[in-house]
Structure 1
Amino acid sequence: MLDASWPPVARATFLCGLIGLSTSILNQYYSTSITPSLIRASVLASLLATGLMLVAILWTNLIPKSPGRVIVGGRQGFTYSSNLPSSVISELGWGSQMILTATPAATLLIWWDDHCILRRGQLNQGNFIPGPICQRAREKKTAISLVNLELYPGRDEFDKLLEGIPSVIVQPLGTRGWLIIGGWSIRCFSKSDEIWIKGWGEKIRFCLESLVE
């Protein structure tokens, strides 16, 4: 039952409980006489030891082990539209680098006015086309977080984003585009990650909308 992946404090608590329970049993077994006081002490010691073991087990359930990275396909790359002004390219380059280093993002893509204007991180060779899930995010005007892509119908929409990607965030950029980010593992994005992604999405939307046609 004791797993090496448990937190050190949980392992120590479980071992203390196990030692206490074993000591109580051995003490009663080797006693020359069984008295009411010995029985009461053994029962209390056993309950305390069992309680410590249960605390350790519950500890591992409340603080589960973080899921490991999934091996995904693709290769490292950075592509962007050369038609953009240098100031916008600088913002996209800086922001995308921060997303990839400060969050569990494996890949990201920006789609604007029916074109992919940036891809960075692990890249597939295929061309991504937004589908129903992206459209729903735009209609709702809010991000859609697919924490475990295998469980969602329509997940094949993101096959061209990156092969084997386990989780995806679709952040709408107004009515003209999306910021799409794939994570290294299931349930890998925290609330602070989502807030950071939303904030940067709003910033690049403002930059792109301010461009003169």
Structure 2
Amino acid sequence: GDEPAEKPDPRSTPIDAPAGLRPAPPPPAASLRNRGDRACSSAMRQRQEWVGDWVRSNDTLVRALPILVGGASLLAVLLNRAVSGIAAVSDASSSQSRADILTLALSVTDILAGLVWLSIRPKTISPVVPRGVDCKPVDADVSSSALRELLWTWDSLTAATCCKSLVVVYGGNCKLQIGVAAASPEDGNAVNVDAQKFMQGSLYKSAMESKKQSYLANLALYPGRTELPFLPANTQALILQPIGDKGIAVIGGDTIRGFTNLDQAWIGMIADKLDATLSKS
């Protein structure tokens, strides 16, 4: 009689099986290694963040740690000297005495380092409230599209940086003065920007000749601040950003060194955008 057909092995998958029923191929070894590397780096990053947080929250203890280590080492040497029965007077021919002298020197160095760490602390820099009045004068010749661009620039700077004052001088005219301005001693109103006088100053000429952004991180240290009577007297930081070949943006901040490197690069790109807009208006 006919032999019974051989039954297919249920563990094997036919070649023409639907794609959804085919077993997934095992992940390659490189993928597994990448997952392991990512997991390892994530764990190391979390550990570093934990250590950093602990050090910040225990700043005084960390600064005093060398004093504690040096004092403990100094006490251990003295106790060892007293308990071991070695003469209190050091002997240059004794190896124990030479080791004790080196240990004492290292202990004193640790104590001095701890004292230095405790005496030198980073100064906390906080924002200040600009002394002046709010203003928003706009040049009458500015088109509606250019005005929208200028106001967008102001909103972006105030939202993302420490900017509190913005002055845009372009084509020999002040296109926009917005934010906090210096108050006039006569009537208390905002001091308007004299574009022609400002353009004759060294700050403007230096920035336009170099065609590079000028960042005055601590404005109080620069004598050229007298060329900026329209800014609040307590403006902490200043950026002079050329806008093409025809203008400049004066950006005042409320924090010393408040503009980061990313802020400066971003402001440079905004200036290119403003130049393209203002040149058409």
Unpaired segments of 5 or more residues in structure 1? 1-5
State the SS of the aligned residue for 2:83: coil
Q: Which residue is 1:3 aligned to? A: none
1:199 to 269, 272, 281: 269
List, as ranges, runs of 4+ consecutive aligned residues in structure 1 with deviation greater than 6 Å: 58-61
* In 2: Cα distance, 1:78 partner to 1:9 partner: 46
Asked if 1:47 corresponds to 2:106, the answer is yes
1:12 paired to 2:28: no
- Any unmatched runs of 5+ in structure 2? 1-54, 87-94, 183-189
CA distance in 1, matches of 2:219, 2:78: 55
Letter in 2 for 1:210: K
- The percent of aligned pairs where both chains have the same amino acid is 24
Q: RMSD value over aligned CA atoms?
A: 3.4
Provide the TM-score with structure 2 as the length reference.
Answer: 0.60
CA contact (8 A) 1:11 1:56 kept: no
Q: Which amino acid aligns with 1:127?
A: N
By how many angstroms is 1:184 displaced? 1.5
User: What's the secondary structure of 2:174's corresponding residue?
Assistant: strand
Q: CA deviation at 1:109?
A: 0.9
Judge which range, 63-72 or 179-188, deviates more. 63-72
> How many Å separate the matches in 2 of 1:161 and 1:50?
50
Q: 2:174 aligns with which of 108, 113, 116?
A: 116
155 and 39 in structure 1: CA distance in 2 versus 1, 3 angstrom threshold: same
Question: RCO (CA 8 Å, sep 6+): is it higher in 1 or 2?
Answer: 1
Q: Is the 8 A contact 2:212 2:241 kept in 1?
A: yes
Which one of the candidate residues 160, 165, 174 is aligned to 1:102? Answer: 160
Kept in 2, the 8 Å contact 1:16–1:49? The answer is: no
For 2:73, the aligned partner's letter is S
Instruction: Give the count of matched residue pairs.
Output: 205
**Higher share of residues assigned strand:** 1
Q: Is 1:151 paired with 2:210? A: no
